[in-house]
Amino acid sequence: MLQEQFADLAKCVEPDRVRREVYTEPAIFELEMQRIHERYWIYCGHESQVPKPGDYYTVQIGRQPMLMVRGKDKRVHVLYNRCPHRGNMMCGDRHGNTGEFFRCSYHAWTFQHDGALRTIPMMESGYAGTRYGKDNPDCSMKKAARVESYRGFVFASLAKDGPDLKEFLGESKIAFDDMCDRAPEGEVEVVPNCFRVIQHSNWKIFLENQLDALHPSVVHQSTGRAAHEMEKRIEKKTGKAPLSYHMLSAFATVTIDKWDVFQTLNYPQGHCILTGYMGLRPKDSDTLAYEKVMQKAYGKQRAESILAVNIHHVLIYPGLSVQSPLQQLRAVRPLGVDKTLTEIWHFRLKGAPEPIYRRSLAYYNLVNSPATLINADDLENFWKCHQGLSSDGGDWVSFGRHFGRDIEKPGGMVETGPNMGTSEAPMRNQMKAWAQYMAAGR
Amino acid sequence: MSKLELQHAVEQFLYRQAEILDGKRWQDYIGLFAKDGIYWMPADPSHKTWEGMPAIFAEDINLMTVRMDRVMHPDAWSQRPHWGTNHVVSNVVIEKTSPNGDVHVRSRFHMLELRRDDVRHFAGSYRHHLKKAKDGYRIKLQRVDMTNAQAAYDYVLQVWV
Q: Is A230 on the interface with B (CB under 8 A)?
A: yes
Among the partner-chain residues B55, B68, B76, the one whose CB lies closest to the CB of A369 is B55
Q: Which of A114, A122, A119 is nearest to A103 (CA)?
A: A119
Predicted confidence band of residue B10 (pLDDT cuts 50, 70, 90): very high
Per-residue confidence (pLDDT) for residue A1, from 0 to 100: 42
Among the partner-chain residues B54, B70, B157, the one whose CB lies closest to the CB of A361 is B54
Interface test with A, best of B57, B67, B77, B120 (most A CBs within 10 A): B77
**Partner-chain contact A375 B156, CB within 8 Å:** yes
Predicted confidence band of residue A442 (pLDDT cuts 50, 70, 90): confident
Lowest mean pLDDT of A35-44, A171-180, A397-406, B72-81, name the range: B72-81
Going by C-beta distance under 8 Å and a sequence separation of 6 or more, which residues neighbour residue A257? none
Say whether pLDDT at B146 is over 60.
Answer: yes
- pLDDT cut 70: percent of chain A above it: 98
Per-residue confidence (pLDDT) for residue A175, from 0 to 100: 97
Residue A336: CB atoms within 10 A of its CB come to 14
Burial A113-140 (b: 16+ CB within 10 A, else e): bebebbebeeeeeeeeeeebeeeeeebb
- Residue B97, H or E segment: strand B83-97
Longest dimension (CA), chain A: 84
- pLDDT cut 90: percent of chain B above it: 86
Q: Is A194 on the interface with B (CB under 8 A)?
A: no
d(CA B8, CA B137): 13
d(CA A59, nearest CA chain B) in Å: 14
**Partner-chain contact A371 B43, CB within 8 Å:** no
Strand order across the beta sheet in which A146-150 lies: A42-46, A153-157, A146-150
**Partner-chain contact A226 B70, CB within 8 Å:** yes
Residue A225: its chain B contacts at CB < 8 A?
A: 69-70, 73
Average pLDDT (A188-214) is 96
Per-residue confidence (pLDDT) for residue A30, from 0 to 100: 96
Q: What is the pLDDT of residues A339-367, one digit of tens each?
A: 999 999 999 999 999 999 999 999 999 99
Q: What is the pLDDT of residues A385-400, one digit of tens each?
A: 999 999 999 999 999 9
Per-residue confidence (pLDDT) for residue A258, from 0 to 100: 81
Q: Is A164 exposed, middle or buried (0-12, 13-18, 19+ CB in 10 A)?
A: exposed
Per-residue confidence (pLDDT) for residue A5, from 0 to 100: 55
Average pLDDT (A73-84) is 97
Residue B65: its chain A contacts at CB < 8 A?
A: 226, 230
d(CA B137, nearest CA chain A) in Å: 26
User: ipTM greater than 0.90, yes or no?
Assistant: yes
Report pTM: 0.95
Amino acid at A290: Y
Residue B144: its chain A contacts at CB < 8 A?
A: none
Q: Which of B78, B75, B91 is nearest to B127 (CA)?
A: B91
Label the pairing between strands B118-133 and B103-115: antiparallel
Helix extents (H) in A308-374? 354-368
Per-residue confidence (pLDDT) for residue B78, from 0 to 100: 82
Interface test with B, best of A356, A367, A380 (most B CBs within 10 A): A380
Closest-approach residue (CA) in chain B for A347? B54
For residue B150, what is the DSSP state? Answer: G
Q: What is the pLDDT of residues A46-64, one digit of tens each?
A: 999 999 999 999 999 999 9
Closest-approach residue (CA) in chain A for B52? A358
Helix, strand, or coil (residue A351): coil
Average pLDDT value over all residues in chain A: 94
Going by C-beta distance under 8 Å and a sequence separation of 6 or more, which residues neighbour residue A183? A348, A349, A350, A351, A352
Q: Is A335 on the interface with B (CB under 8 A)?
A: no
Average pLDDT (A189-208) is 97
**Partner-chain contact A371 B157, CB within 8 Å:** yes
Burial A355-369 (b: 16+ CB within 10 A, else e): ebbbbbbbbbbbbbb
d(CA B47, nearest CA chain A) in Å: 11
Predicted confidence band of residue B100 (pLDDT cuts 50, 70, 90): very high
Q: Is A297 on the interface with B (CB under 8 A)?
A: no
Going by C-beta distance under 8 Å and a sequence separation of 6 or more, which residues neighbour residue A7? none
Higher pLDDT, A440 or A63: A63
Predicted confidence band of residue A4 (pLDDT cuts 50, 70, 90): low
How many CB contacts within 8 angstroms connect chain A with chain B? 101
Burial B106-136 (b: 16+ CB within 10 A, else e): ebbbebebebeeeeeebebebebbbbeeeee
d(CA B153, CA B156): 7
Average pLDDT (A294-311) is 95
**Partner-chain contact B54 A364, CB within 8 Å:** yes
Per-residue confidence (pLDDT) for residue A2, from 0 to 100: 52
Per-residue confidence (pLDDT) for residue A363, from 0 to 100: 94
Q: What is the pLDDT of residues B49-92, one digit of tens each?
A: 999 999 999 999 999 999 999 999 888 888 878 889 999 999 99
Closest-approach residue (CA) in chain B for A197? B153
